[in-house]
Structure 1
Amino acid sequence: MPSYTVTVATGNQWFAGTDDYIYLSLVGSAGCSEKHLLDKAFYNDFERGAVDSYDMTVDEELGEIQLVRIEKRKYWIHDDWYLKYITLKTPHGDYIEFPCYRWITAKLARDDQIHILKQHRRKELETRQKQYRWMEWNPGFPLSIDAKCHKDLPRDIQFDSEKGVDFVLNYSKAMENLFINRFMHMFQSSWNDFADFEKIFVKISNTISERVMSHWQEDLMFGYQFLNGCNPVLIRRCTKLPEKLPVTTEMVECSLERQLTLEQEVQQGNIFIVDYELLDGIDANKTDPCTHQFLAAPICLLYKNLANKIVPIAIQLNQTPGEENPIFLPSDAKYDWLLAKIWVRSSDFHIHQTITHLLCTHLVSEVFGIAMYRQLPAVHPIFKLLVAHVRFTIAINTKAREQLICEYGLFDKGLSPPTQANATGGGGHVQMVQRAMKDLTYASLCFPMAIKARGMESTEDIPYYFYRDDGLLVWEAIQTFTSEVVGIYYESDQVVEEDQELQDFVKDVYVYGMRGKKASGFPKSIKSREKLSEYLTVVIFTASAQHAAVNFGQYDWCSWIPNAPPTMRAPPPKAKGMVNIEQIVDTLPDRGRSCWHLGAVWALSQFQDNELFLGMYPEEHFIEKPVKEAMARFRKNLDAIVSVIAERNKNKKLPYYYLSPDRIPNSVAI
């Protein structure tokens, strides 16, 4: 009688092991075995981290093994079990791998010719679609997972330890690590001067944050951040001066270095603009009626000087021109100009946190993740390719909705004592996402297209845009990898078009995630291998590289409070010549909000424990040799990019490393 050796690996997560009865049966092309109880006498099977082997004899020849069926029955009390993989040694000495990596070999649906395999595939999706339901968290938002809190999520996608992503605990821990709790007893009092902010800054600083502290008032530092700070996605080349910003050559001629008019500088491509129109009319946080917070919607005009550096030349703090909305200039009084730049930096912080970071990486990646679980079975090659890139994303977003961005959450009121920590809390952040959804398009997630749409593609014209340069390298590496994987499983465009599971995945993203908006440009279906590769590159790049670029620099660039104020306590100035340093300090966040902000950006900038970085796939979902070889080439390409970035950063006072692949986590998990 044929004999098989079955090896079962249990995960290392907390509570991954089980005391339940585990039964296994084999399904082959010639028949199906009886159920076998996997049990060793006087031995505790399926402990956390264990690899257990069992000999299994069957009554008749099963043919080519197609499926391993696992059944779990309660022993004493119900417990979950995380199955990593099963390997099978056949009577002929061959080894077959069955990856699982979920709580209890890549094929397209057309490859499953046996009825029981088709049935298994269909039932898996039916079960998943009941577990992974779409929900509207707020009107106008991308749809999210239907779960009120982390513990309501399917066990497969929960964090190993919920404590690791508890925002309240993490921010409290940050306060302790940064030694800033000692300021909280006077949390509503103002600082005395700029140097006073160093009291909460000095404990944990680094090369970039210290340089920001030393040079934040300089125009060069201000301009540099639009290219390589933590929000490098807003600056665009100005092709025509907007009527709402009535700036003239006479106003800015002392900043222009080429002896040209402002209009001529525009024509030559030397003028850039950042417009915070989205903030116009957004309600400032009013959760505490005794505390006032203010927002502005600035327009900032920038200039590429003869050294090819970007510097600001004009700032208008609100959208409608007029006598009470002056255009501030570098030639103005020192503190007039400085306060205008601080207002821009504060507005930039709000757009960064809510749109660039939350909407365009977290919420978008969750959409891809939910659609993947709903429409792609575990044996589908696209599921196997993407599953590492949605790891913990749904969980971190659920936790954020539970504690951070919900009504009266940390975003609204901070830690105890309540501090009304963020000026766009109290509902402003919700309004912002609802507005920004109109501009969220598929093209805006295609990195090369997004760069080109803003007129920022020329390396000769803009040589110090490292976010662009490194991002294009990583995008190309990912696209090469996805093209290879697509080519392995789809021999023609027709096979892509006929893959109904794939089409259902793409349709789910469009209909539910993007709310069926034609203007979004998200495809309803995919009909070619080239477009499928591009789509997969968007999914992976958004979850990995784009999130890394806009998340992990938050402490570097935002920990020095005057450089990224989370709130302003006085309205924007309506006239020039009225500002002094005392007024600026009184406008900046008080001690309590400063402490909360510092703790928040520190906590948000930390990598997860045991982080998996781009190109790392320890869970071997793929067993096919061609895919493993493609993964090896992908890692080699990424290593080459790491070397290029490291070489460029040598001796740089402001190194740019957020898009170095060894610092890019696979997924949005923080």
Structure 2
Amino acid sequence: MPSYTVTVSTGSQWFAGTDDYIYITLVGSEGCSERTLLDKALYDDFERGAVDSYDVRVGENLGEILLVKIEKKKYWMQDDWYCSYITVKTPSGDYLEFPCFRWLVDDKEVVLRDGRAHLPQDDKTSLVKQHRQKELDSRRKTYRWKEWQPGFPMSIDADRHKDLPRDVQFDSEKGVDFVLNYSKAIENLFVNQFMHMFQSSWSDFGDFEKIFVRIKNTISEYVMQHWKEDFMFGYQFLNGCNPVVIEKCLKLPDKFPVTHEMVSVSLERELTLEQEIEAGNIYIVDYEVLDGIRSNCTDPCTLQYLAPTICLLYKNTQNKILPIAIQLGQTPGKDQPIFLPTDDKYDWLLAKIWVRSSDFQYHQTITHLLRTHLISEVFGVAMYRQLPAVHPVYKLLIPHVRFTMAINTKAREQLICECGIFDKVIKARGVDNKEELPTYFYRDDGYRVWEATKSFVSDVVHIYYTSDETVQEDGEIQAFIKDVCSFGMQDFDHCEFPKFLKSREKLIEYLTVIVFTASAQHAAVNFGQYDWCSWIPNAPSTMRRPPPNQKGLADVNLIIESLPDRGRSSWHLGAVWALSQYQEGELYLGMYPDEHFIEKPVKAAMETFRKQLAEISSSIKKRNNGKKLPYYNMSPDQIPNSVAV
């Protein structure tokens, strides 16, 4: 009687093992095995991290093994099980790999294809076609779109973390509980002593140092020492945690009527302001998106203010970026003065603080939340809805959507509840010339990571898509593209996502955007938050006084009264510390321990990718050596694969 050896690997994460009954059925081209209970009798089966082997006897040859059906049935109470993979050794000695990497919950079954990736047009038999369609039908019922807030991208239909499909929940919910992490942060940073004075102001700038106790961080300490300097203010637009808003100024907007006479003392090349603009030495940041947002009342007595600031920046002869003019609103006039470095030092300092406050709000809501977290979730939901596990693009993307729906649902539940294309974006802002901005490390490191990622994606795409026509004929990938735009992005008029892709090159670019956004871009705007935002005056999360409408009003007292009070400063510090921490067991760019791909050409492409990333990390380390302000947020060895924090 022919016998197949089945080897089952249980995951190593918490609670992966099970005491439930596990049954297997082998489905071949010539027949099926009987439903077989996997039980070694004298031993505990399916323990966490275990690899167990069993004999499955059949009455006749099954032919080519096409599918493996795994069923879990309750023993005495429901006990979820995480299956990593199954291998089957045939009577002829051949080994077949069946990746799983998913949870079996309740009395459910999973039907697996072998590990080779297949485009839909590659499947010829009705059996595998039906399996493919059945998997997608089930997924679309499980992964449903939901509008979180009007005007935002769609999210997964889950109000709480525990409502998510088990496969996209955190392995351990405790580790990413925002409330718990904030509490830990405040305790670790020794700021509890200020919480009882929640609404009281600090006395002076030196008081903010009191919550710097236990901070051992080179960049944050440097920021604390130099935050008032124009150089430090300008440098952050290049290499701070929001390095995506600075643009080359090609023409001064009418709403920002800066004249040469206003700024001539700041210009170093004996050129007029207009000539400096023509020479490419003038840059601008404009927070117009904040215009019209009303003041928020956090309690019956305290108003919080925003300002849609505009700031003009100058690249001096030492290639430093310095502020030369600031307007605190979008409508010029007598009550909207243009602040200058030649003004009283407190007027100028308060104006810069208002820009930093605008930048903090823009960074958190748009750069960080919208353009990494929410966009990555759209890609993830669409992937689960439209791409079966056997699709090569599913295998490519699955590591880069890991825990994204979980972290976003956690954020909607606890943090933000009521109680893209890299090179094109850089060029569009006019900051792509290395000679013009030689210290723009975010751009330079980002280009290298982008190119390495694009090269890897290109290798994978060319393995499975032999021509542009194969892209056009792939109904699943086209459905994925359409789902992202038409449903995930709600087909907004300003949505630039395509609805159809006609070539391999466009597919490569599209997939590179997804991988880069979820990994490098998120790392660049997330993990530097503690560095740049822990010194509260440099990145105030709230302003308690309205922006000044005339010069000569500012002094130390007004600035202190405008900045966050003691309690909010403490919570702010705890938040940026918690958000900047890497997760336990973090998987970094290029690390793919779950082997969804089994083909040798893809594994070779992965190895090449890892070597390229290692070279980039090494060169960044050498460049940073000895620098007072090292930039490492785009170093691949510090870029997690996905948006998971």
TM range (shorter): over 0.9
Q: Which runs of 5+ in 1 are unaligned?
A: 409-444
Aligned twin of 1:556: 531
Equivalents in 1 of 2:356, 2:494: separation in Å? 31
Structure 1 residue aligned with 2:191, among 167, 177, 180? 180
Counterpart of 1:627 in 2: which secondary structure?
helix
1:252-291 → structure 2 map (5 Å cutoff): 252-291=263-302
1:486 alignment partner AA: V
Counterpart of 2:297 in 1: which secondary structure?
coil
Aligned twin of 2:112: none
Equivalents in 1 of 2:502, 2:280: separation in Å? 38
Matched, 1:349 2:324: no
Which range moves more in the overlay, 185-194 or 172-181? 185-194
- In the TM superposition, structure 1's runs of 4+ consecutive aligned residues that sit over 3 Å from their partners are none
Counterpart of 1:49 in 2: which secondary structure?
coil
Counterpart of 2:303 in 1: which secondary structure?
coil
Structure 2 residue aligned with 1:168, among 155, 168, 179? 179
Equivalents in 2 of 1:358, 1:399: separation in Å? 13
Equivalents in 1 of 2:138, 2:301: separation in Å? 51
Indicate conservation of the 8 Å contact 2:241/2:526, yes or no. Answer: yes
Query: 1:13: how far off?
Result: 2.3
Equivalents in 2 of 1:580, 1:23: separation in Å? 75
Q: Which runs of 5+ in 2 are unaligned?
A: 105-114
Structure 2 residue aligned with 1:576, among 532, 551, 554? 551
Query: 1:161: how far off?
Result: 1.0
Q: Structure 2 length as normaliser, TM-score?
A: 0.97
1:168-317 → structure 2 map (5 Å cutoff): 168-317=179-328
Which range moves more in the overlay, 186-195 or 656-665? 186-195
Counterpart of 1:301 in 2: which secondary structure?
strand
Aligned twin of 1:2: 2
Aligned twin of 2:423: 448
Aligned twin of 1:633: 608
Equivalents in 2 of 1:180, 1:659: separation in Å? 31
Which range moves more in the overlay, 101-110 or 552-561? 101-110
Aligned twin of 2:110: none
Counterpart of 1:325 in 2: which secondary structure?
coil
CA displacement, residues 205-234 of structure 1 (integer Å, 9 cap, x when unaligned): 301000000000000000000000000000
Equivalents in 1 of 2:405, 2:303: separation in Å? 34
Aligned twin of 1:430: none
Query: 1:650: how far off?
Result: 1.5
CA displacement, residues 386-420 of structure 1 (integer Å, 9 cap, x when unaligned): 00000000011001111111111xxxxxxxxxxxx
Query: 1:9: how far off?
Result: 0.7
2:180 alignment partner AA: L
Aligned twin of 1:596: 571
Aligned twin of 1:645: 620
Matched, 1:585 2:596: no
1:46-445 → structure 2 map (5 Å cutoff): 46-104=46-104, 105=115, 106-408=117-419, 445=420
Equivalents in 2 of 1:502, 1:325: separation in Å? 51
Indicate conservation of the 8 Å contact 2:9/2:52, yes or no. Answer: yes
Counterpart of 1:8 in 2: which secondary structure?
strand
CA displacement, residues 406-438 of structure 1 (integer Å, 9 cap, x when unaligned): 111xxxxxxxxxxxxxxxxxxxxxxxxxxxxxx
CA displacement, residues 319-368 of structure 1 (integer Å, 9 cap, x when unaligned): 11111111110011111100000000011000000000000000000000
- Calculate percent identity across the aligned residue pairs: 72
Equivalents in 1 of 2:205, 2:216: separation in Å? 17
Equivalents in 1 of 2:60, 2:506: separation in Å? 46
Aligned twin of 1:530: 505
Aligned twin of 2:18: 18
Matched, 1:669 2:639: no
Counterpart of 1:348 in 2: which secondary structure?
helix
2:470 alignment partner AA: V
Equivalents in 2 of 1:54, 1:653: separation in Å? 59
1:67 alignment partner AA: L
Counterpart of 1:232 in 2: which secondary structure?
coil
1:656 alignment partner AA: Y
CA displacement, residues 173-229 of structure 1 (integer Å, 9 cap, x when unaligned): 100000000111111111111111000013123010000000000000000000000
Equivalents in 2 of 1:634, 1:518: separation in Å? 37
Aligned twin of 1:35: 35
1:72 alignment partner AA: K
Equivalents in 1 of 2:494, 2:188: separation in Å? 46
Query: 1:42: how far off?
Result: 2.0
Aligned twin of 2:107: none
1:637 alignment partner AA: Q
Q: Structure 1 length as normaliser, TM-score?
A: 0.94
What's the Cα RMSD here?
1.0
Equivalents in 2 of 1:641, 1:534: separation in Å? 21
Equivalents in 2 of 1:257, 1:401: separation in Å? 49
Equivalents in 2 of 1:285, 1:92: separation in Å? 72
1:19 alignment partner AA: D
Query: 1:518: how far off?
Result: 4.6
Query: 1:257: how far off?
Result: 0.2
Equivalents in 1 of 2:398, 2:215: separation in Å? 35
Aligned twin of 1:481: 456
Counterpart of 2:48 in 1: which secondary structure?
coil
Equivalents in 1 of 2:591, 2:569: separation in Å? 37
Aligned twin of 1:493: 468
Indicate conservation of the 8 Å contact 2:328/2:336, yes or no. Answer: yes
Equivalents in 2 of 1:609, 1:557: separation in Å? 23
Equivalents in 1 of 2:97, 2:60: separation in Å? 22
Structure 1 residue aligned with 2:440, among 465, 468, 488? 465
Equivalents in 2 of 1:569, 1:519: separation in Å? 34
Counterpart of 1:227 in 2: which secondary structure?
helix
Counterpart of 2:437 in 1: which secondary structure?
coil
Counterpart of 2:547 in 1: which secondary structure?
coil
Equivalents in 1 of 2:236, 2:347: separation in Å? 20
Query: 1:115: how far off?
Result: 2.0
CA displacement, residues 60-106 of structure 1 (integer Å, 9 cap, x when unaligned): 11222221111222222222111100111222222211111001222
Counterpart of 2:265 in 1: which secondary structure?
coil
Equivalents in 1 of 2:212, 2:291: separation in Å? 32
1:22 alignment partner AA: I
Equivalents in 2 of 1:80, 1:115: separation in Å? 31
Equivalents in 2 of 1:186, 1:638: separation in Å? 48
2:69 alignment partner AA: R
Structure 2 residue aligned with 1:659, among 631, 634, 642? 634
Equivalents in 1 of 2:505, 2:29: separation in Å? 34
Equivalents in 2 of 1:92, 1:623: separation in Å? 20
Counterpart of 1:32 in 2: which secondary structure?
coil
Indicate conservation of the 8 Å contact 2:190/2:213, yes or no. Answer: no
Aligned twin of 1:423: none
Equivalents in 2 of 1:518, 1:302: separation in Å? 32
Equivalents in 1 of 2:295, 2:456: separation in Å? 45
CA displacement, residues 293-313 of structure 1 (integer Å, 9 cap, x when unaligned): 111111100000001110000
Equivalents in 1 of 2:128, 2:369: separation in Å? 39
1:74 alignment partner AA: K
CA displacement, residues 497-549 of structure 1 (integer Å, 9 cap, x when unaligned): 11111111111101111111353221101111111111110000000000000
Equivalents in 2 of 1:247, 1:308: separation in Å? 22
CA displacement, residues 603-661 of structure 1 (integer Å, 9 cap, x when unaligned): 00001110000000000011111110110001011111111111111111100000000
1:212 alignment partner AA: V
